Amino acid sequence: MLTPPVTPKRPIQRKHHGDVVVDEYEWLRVKDDPAVLAHLHAENAYTKARTDHLSLLTEQVFEEITRRTKETDLSVPTREGAWWYFTRTVEGLQYGIHCRVPAGEDWEPPVLPETTGDELTDASYEALPGERVLLDENREAEGHEFFALGSFDVTGDGSVMLYGVDVEGDERYTVRFRAIDGSDREIDDVLEGTAAGAVFDASGRYVFYATVDDAWRPDTIWRHEIGTSRDADVRVFTEPDERFWLGVGLTRSRRYLVIEAGSNVTSETWLLDTADPAGEFRVVWPRKEGVEYDVEHVIAGGKDRLLIVHNDGAVNFELVSVAADDPQGARRMLLPHNPAVRLEGVDAFRDFVAVEYRRDGLPRVAIAKVPPQGLPDDATPDDTLHELETDETLYSIGVSGNPDWNQPTLRVLGTSFVTPTKVMDLVVETGERRLRKQQPVLGEYDATRYTQRREWAVADDGRRIPISLVYREDLVQYGTPAPTLLYGYGSYEHSIDPSFSIPRLSLLDRGMIFAVAHVRGGGEMGRLWYEDGKKLAKRNTFTDFVAVARHLIDEEVTASDRLVAQGGSAGGLLMGAVANLAPRHFSGILAEVPFVDPLTSILDPSLPLTVIEWDEWGNPVDDPEVYAYMKGYSPYENVHGNHDGGSHYPPILAVTSLNDTRVLYVEPAKWVARLRDAGADPLLKIEMAAGHGGVSGRYAAWRERAFAYAWVIDRARAHPTGE
């Protein structure tokens, strides 16, 4: 019999609001303690031994993912200025290769010539005319166990590029510069310890970048002149409020540099005319607690205007226009608040505007042309806004890859649970849609064999909770209990929309149902759906998920002996909570980078992200009601055994990363130890060279997904061979 590692108990006392808690496993937080590292390695060894029987299945799933994926491939080129930019993947290589070719007069992206057979194999590919490699991530990753690209930008004239890399997984990047004028020489200039998202100004003379404070919060924006000492860099903006993150960028028009300061519920934007990059930024709207807004620049009637999506008195947001030189002056209403529509964003171009919004739980996109003379005073949204139609009942559609201000087309991505992602260019003037590419799925994938559908569960308080499901019609008789994986998230107003997944086919082709519980705390049903699943309403997220599981069991879609739950990060908190609330509903729980010790983390302002998170969870440091509420649902603090001393928890697999700065490895490590105290049988898998997103490199990521899915298949009692 294999025995799990023994986690020593070293009591540490925590006291808040008169409540004294003795935490026996908090000592695991000391990352550089040799005893902690030894314990984590022991956990990995134990998990490896316990899952050895899944090795063959893991390899099968990995091979299925690889076999279905076109490994040597080309992204649809995106035009910016005088160049088409794209990324290649090559069979056998972990990372992408960033390239470009010169652009001609038209807006037709270059394509590979028609070929037959599989000549694009191994490490070779056919280059496009005039193609040159800008950055080969595989070369940059050599000698490192982890690699991530956090910044990549090119000057407007296309002569210099910057790239920022992280080789630890801690989301701290080193920025370097390279001439791409034919010499490909590395410029003697390095910026270490930056946040992601460094950008050139419009002239290409300066770089604007962010650095972080002791809590790893991007809090300062700097201006750096290329080729000069970093000691001469100018601090252009510092955010003292610990709830706010900073980011910097350019408007699509390249007219303004933009600094955005944002917490979970409040935002503020500052602009600087790019004609004066050494000048002073000016605020658009001074911050107002609880008001969020995004800014886009547009030229209408020859005048600079700002389009602002905001929620000042409009819970689901509305769109207004203001004069760029007087943004706090008169507002012109363009799209008024609609309680049935959550307005999510706007993208402005020289000749048109794209609007993204959400209705009936699904994303939508609409287009409006910008008349040369500007909008008449009596114009209404119906006069100008045209929604893009889709032909599926469950789908996702969104704007992506549109960097050029002058482009006559809008690039849109469309997908569903059964439809591989389509890349389409909409010709705005004519309405014509041009399919540029559909995600290739090698083998014999037939979308007609799969069915997606929407169900509704009823929560404890009577609210109807949407459920999305997908399965293979020939392997699942709906209404006869089938192995099922139920996914949930439910935080930060993040929506889990229908999308296609090649790895997921390995579940569906084994007769499994994949389901998504669109619980409160997410954004699927609008801003109020989010508000009703945060802070002192957070328990709704957990009880909604349980209600969905109960619905699927009661309707005999599945059964408790073949229903596995999955969630990651804040969704991992959801997994820990439902494990305590309804453990007998599930045959297994997969918790990835799980936020399962939220109260301990949120009580410590010195930890990364803590103060920022108070807008989402509440402030237990100063508010005893929040403290008591969080303590009442914290998975770690509410682990419990049966009255007879046994365990009612299903098998649990917790996956985490040593260098994760968002959810520290210590949370699942402590949780697993306490679960074992309650008689449960959890497993802990720690990636020792990874961050919040897991391992780097596509093959490594596929193998990790294959392992997780093998565990799910085993726990769901799905057919192991897919027959």
From the list 597, 692, 696, 714, the catalytic residue is 692
Tell me whether residue 506 is one of the annotated catalytic residues. no
Tell me whether residue 124 is one of the annotated catalytic residues. no
- Residue 383 pLDDT > 70, yes or no? no
Q: Strand pairing partners for 471?
A: 451
Dump pLDDT digits (tens) for 420-447: 999 999 999 999 999 999 999 999 899 9
Q: Strand pairing partners for 324?
A: none
Residue 550 structure tokens: 């109960």
Lowest average pLDDT, out of 7-11, 299-303, 359-363, 514-518, goes to 299-303
Q: Let me know: does 312 contact 322? Beta carbons within 8 Å.
A: no
Q: Give the C-alpha separation, 347 to 281, whole Å.
A: 22
pLDDT at 120: 39
Q: How confident is the model at residue 118 (pLDDT cuts 50, 70, 90)?
A: very low
Q: Give the C-alpha separation, 441 to 619, whole Å.
A: 47
- Residue 599 pLDDT > 80, yes or no? yes
Average pLDDT over residues 270-279: 97
- Residue 377 pLDDT > 60, yes or no? no
User: Which ranges of 555-597 does DSSP label H, i.e. alpha helix?
Assistant: 570-581
Average pLDDT over residues 298-326: 95
Q: Give the C-alpha separation, 404 to 392, whole Å.
A: 30
Greatest Cα-to-Cα distance within the chain, rounded to the nearest angstrom: 79
- Residue 175 pLDDT > 80, yes or no? yes
Q: Give the C-alpha separation, 231 to 703, whole Å.
A: 44
pLDDT at 475: 96
Dump pLDDT digits (tens) for 331-343: 999 999 999 999 9
- Which amino acid, one-letter code, is at 444? E
Element (H, E) at 38: helix 34-50
Q: Strand pairing partners for 566?
A: 487, 590
Average pLDDT over residues 11-32: 96
Average pLDDT over residues 163-170: 93
- Residue 116 pLDDT > 60, yes or no? no
Q: Let me know: does 699 contact 94? Beta carbons within 8 Å.
A: yes
From the list 569, 601, 647, 696, the catalytic residue is 569
pLDDT at 373: 54
Residue 437 structure tokens: 């590419």
Q: Let me know: does 190 contact 175? Beta carbons within 8 Å.
A: yes
Residue 449 CA, chain-centre distance (Å), reads 29
- Backbone phi, then psi, for 604, in 5-degree steps? -110, 95
Residue, of 679 and 380, whose pLDDT is higher: 679
DSSP string across 685-705: EEETT-BTTBS-SHHHHHHHH
Q: What is the four-CA torsion angle of 50, 51, 52, 56, rounded to 10 degrees?
A: 160
Q: Strand pairing partners for 589?
A: 565, 652
Tell me whether residue 297 is one of the annotated catalytic residues. no
Lowest average pLDDT, out of 119-128, 306-315, 541-550, goes to 119-128
- Residue pointed to by tokens 């391992």: 695
Q: How confident is the model at residue 692 (pLDDT cuts 50, 70, 90)?
A: low
- How confident is the prediction for the chain on average, in pLDDT? 93
Q: How confident is the model at residue 646 (pLDDT cuts 50, 70, 90)?
A: low
CA distances from 57 to 61, 318, 484, 703 (A): 6, 50, 18, 11
pLDDT at 1: 64
Residue, of 660 and 348, whose pLDDT is higher: 348
pLDDT at 122: 41
Q: How confident is the model at residue 102 (pLDDT cuts 50, 70, 90)?
A: very high
Q: How confident is the model at residue 484 (pLDDT cuts 50, 70, 90)?
A: very high
Q: How confident is the model at residue 117 (pLDDT cuts 50, 70, 90)?
A: very low
Q: How confident is the model at residue 723 (pLDDT cuts 50, 70, 90)?
A: very low
pTM (two decimals): 0.93
Dump pLDDT digits (tens) for 223-255: 999 999 999 999 999 999 999 999 999 999 999
Residue from 143, 158, 26, 13 nearest 85 by CA: 158
Average pLDDT over residues 138-162: 95
pLDDT at 370: 80
Q: Give the C-alpha separation, 710 to 307, whole Å.
A: 48
From the list 170, 347, 615, 660, the catalytic residue is 660
Adjacency order of strands within the sheet including 362-369: 341-348, 352-359, 362-369, 385-387
pLDDT at 645: 60
User: What percentage of the chain has pLDDT greater than the value 90?
Assistant: 86
User: Which ranges of 286-391 does DSSP label H, i.e. alpha helix?
Assistant: 381-384
Dump pLDDT digits (tens) for 34-79: 999 999 999 999 999 999 999 999 999 999 999 999 999 999 999 9
